[in-house]
Amino acid sequence: MPRVSADHMTATTTPTTAVKSAQKHIFDFSEGDRTMVDLLGGKGANLAEMTRLGLPVPPGFTITTEACRYYLEHGHGPEGLRSQLAEHVSRLESEMGRRLGDPEDPLLVSVRSGARFSMPGMMETVLNIGLNDASVAGLARMADDDHFAWDSYRRLIQMFGKTVLEIDGDEFEDALEQMKEKAGVTTDIDLPVESLRKLVDVYKSIVRDATGHEFPQDPYQQLDLAIRSVFHSWNTERARLYRRQERIPHTLGTAVNVQVMAFGNAGPGSGTGVAFTRDPGTGHSGVYGDYLADAQGEDVVAGIRNTLPLQDLEQLDATSYQQLMDIMGKLELHYRDLCDIEFTIERGKLWMLQTRVGKRTAAAAFRIAVQLVDEGVISMDEALMRVSGHQLSQLMFPRFAAGAADGRIAKGMNASPGAAVGRVVFDSPTAVKWAEGGQDVILVRRETNPDDLEGMIAATGILTSRGGKTSHAAVVARGMGKTAVCGAESLDVDTKTRQMIAPDGSVIKEGDVVSIDGSTGDVYLGEVPVVPSAVVTYFDSGLDAALDGADAETAELIRAVDRIMTRADQDRRLRVRANADTPEDAARARRMGAQGIGLLRTEHMFLGERKTYVERLILAESDEDRQAALDALLPLQRKDFIRILEAMDGLPVTIRLIDPPLHEFLPDLTELAVRVAVAEAKGESAEADLRLLQAVNRLHEQNPMLGLRGVRLGLVLPGLFALQVRAIAEAACFRQRMGGDPRAEIMIPLVGSIQELELVIDEAAGVLQEVADANGCTLKFPIGTMIELPRAALTAGQIAEAAEFFSFGTNDLTQTTWGFSRDDVEAAFFSAYLEKGVFGVSPFESIDREGVGELVRIAVKKGRAKRHNLHCGVCGEHGGDPESIHFFDEIGLDYVSCSPFRVPVARLEAGRAAITRHVARSDTR
């Protein structure tokens, strides 16, 4: 193991007197607070905050995220970091009266990551830095406990070997299991001291064999390598994957926290635990958490041993328990939210190791938000900001049908709610492979670790036989909104033979179907039927219908959702419409709270049996043939529009005139050519097919998405757009005669120039006037255009001279701005672009603010400069994306339009966007 050279970031020998640096790279816990989260990371900022509050926090310091970013960019630390580190270590030694590596009375420290956003288990932690062959004896004498000292030393080598030296962790685990077997014990805490000594020797040989070097005995080299390992862990594959999943920027970097060790493995009266100030699974108040006696912190989240409920600590150590309860209450009041707390008790002394605003399930988020309002802690607007559209969408997922579940084979802890059904897989690669093949899978493990992240993302649900509600599997699953059951101890999971055995002897092999209920912890063999969520019932049928027959917990959730949605609707400026093509979709969208239809795609009305009529129109060789095709289509279109206008009576319905790529309405060229060739080979007549083939050849396009479609098709095929406008006008007149209030809006697609738009508007205006005169009705329908080409966005001022509204088709605008063919590029290279960081998220999923978004901004500004009352909305898939909705609110769009099922999400996010905008404006005053 080579010593770290002087041009790296830290000293490798005993620190000397520090030299003052121009820039501060390290902060003592006593120097910061929680507002410095960007610089100190979440963990460092909150440790500083707890220190400021006077809570019992082991002393330490934080190396900033700026230092991490510099190190990752340059391969070494910034100027002054070495001397500042030496100064802070020296200060820590003076405060504690011990010295790092002292063979008589050693100071031991932990090194932990701490990014701006919580990334549980994604980066590295190393405990017991400072132990070596000499200081382990000093620690044993100082503690008067050989077992504690040697257990701490073997933990250091194991964690250091796995995280810093990148040795396969299974090598250490296998050695531990073999040593327990030789000693005749089942848990690591029962290993005798002599076995621990031997285990340390085995671990050191593993390090030597894997690296070619001895385990480092210099404590400052240990510290240096551990710090660098934390920096490097920011860019590990699992960390990058997690950030992509959670949409966390890759550019932030992580802070590093160096803290005096508090020992939960110091024998009787010691232990470690994780606590929440409220239940993160349900939101209910009460004592919630896990405790593990005679253990260090990583043991709890790793799920290596099943934990005790936090309430049991009261029987083991009433004083520490009461002190912890007092601190939990103080922290929740201070942070005004659910707090996640890590603590250690060392021989009866309570130490606080971390706090943060805790991750929670979607149901818990809504319940806690309104609870805090009722308790007078936060306002209703703050409650709205405590939930998200993503969480609301999770609540709308199906659940198991009441009374339909039988064949329960096990019960674990209800770690993350939901209903999940899938085929059992026992490792992450298989989960990914099967999921990519279209199968729903349940990832089954004894316990998960950060290396399982890919499989956890791919899986429908997660099942473990070890670990509690604060284990890695539980925390990560809750953060991702995945259903999870943890700690199902009665299941004997064997990942090597790829099977698990239930208590009744049933053998469940890989590929067998199981169902897991994350709300109850129940595990079933086979598929359990699912039913719609009660939250969907609330949106679809109203509050009373959702509450009818609901149990108390569900009723509480529905009322919380209702209160928050009511506030969102009061606060929001953006209106929310729906993309709907059928009367059924329109009716459901209205029930879901849609304030109109933002996109009715008329080409969808021509699919199926009607496709033949459009084919005849396109291939017509005479005016008579063309008119016959139009005459056949008119009554069908009129009936469609009557039904949709009826479903949305009194609300706007934006009807996009037909916009298909031409090939969608023509016979397949290859199939037709084969048919003609086969007929000719057989000597059969193929005159009709031959004429058809000639016509299709004439109209064939290499790139139909950029070919004869949209406004171009309407201009080239006489009568097509006029037919549709006539059908809309006659449907509106019929609805008026029936006492209705039809509010159609006619939208011209794929316009690139004002000249195209003017030609269609002139034709449409003539048809509208003709129908109005013939039927004695009033037709004042606005005619606008879909902005989906960069040229249209850049010439929006000209186009607004003719268009009465703009609707941004961000799907096609993204394609034409990036030069992408969506159907091709998503499969071809999007995964590589996400992997390499070209995209943080797919531009089809969330609006590309700098490119596509800027075009939208330009078009709105130019359009309204020409027509001040220009109505602007968006009807691409981005209309239902929470991130994009905030952008559309920011640039002043009037509405967003999305699928009916996403309407509630858009309503919620529109309310949140209004609050965000108001706060931003207040901050700039």
Residues annotated as part of the active site: 472, 875
Residue 139: what residue type? Answer: L
* CA 447 to each of CA 302, 444, 828: distance values in angstroms, whole numbers, following the listed order: 7, 8, 35
Q: Residue 848: name the closest of 887, 821, 820 by CA.
A: 887
Q: 763 with 722: CB under 8 angstroms?
A: yes
Q: 535 with 557: CB under 8 angstroms?
A: yes
Q: 859 with 808: CB under 8 angstroms?
A: yes
DSSP, residue by residue, 857-915:
HHHHHHHHHHSTT-EEEE-SGGGG-HHHHHHHHHTT-SEEEE-GGGHHHHHHHHHHHHH
| Residue 658 DSSP SS3 | coil
Helix 169-183 / helix 146-159 crossing angle, nearest 10 deg = 150
**Residues 6+ positions from 618 with CB-CB distance below 8 Å:** 662, 665, 666, 699, 717
* CA 492 to each of CA 78, 273, 445, 498, 664: distance values in angstroms, whole numbers, following the listed order: 51, 26, 10, 11, 54
**Residues 6+ positions from 207 with CB-CB distance below 8 Å:** 157, 161, 165, 167, 213, 214, 215
Q: Residue 659: name the closest of 627, 591, 624, 707 by CA.
A: 707
Q: Which residue has the tokens 């998405």?
A: 705
Residue 663: what residue type? Answer: H
Question: What are phi and psi for residue 157, nearest 5 degrees?
Answer: -65, -40
**Residues 6+ positions from 98 with CB-CB distance below 8 Å:** 105, 106, 107
What the block records as the tokens of 720 is 């097509």
Span between the terminal Cα atoms of the chain, in Å: 57
Q: What is the maximum alpha-carbon separation in the chain? A: 105
Q: 299 with 187: CB under 8 angstroms?
A: no
Q: Residue 61: name the closest of 256, 299, 200 by CA.
A: 256
Residue 761 CA to residue 681 CA, distance in Å, equals: 50
* E strands in 657-782: 743-748
* Bridge partner residues of 276 (DSSP): 288, 340
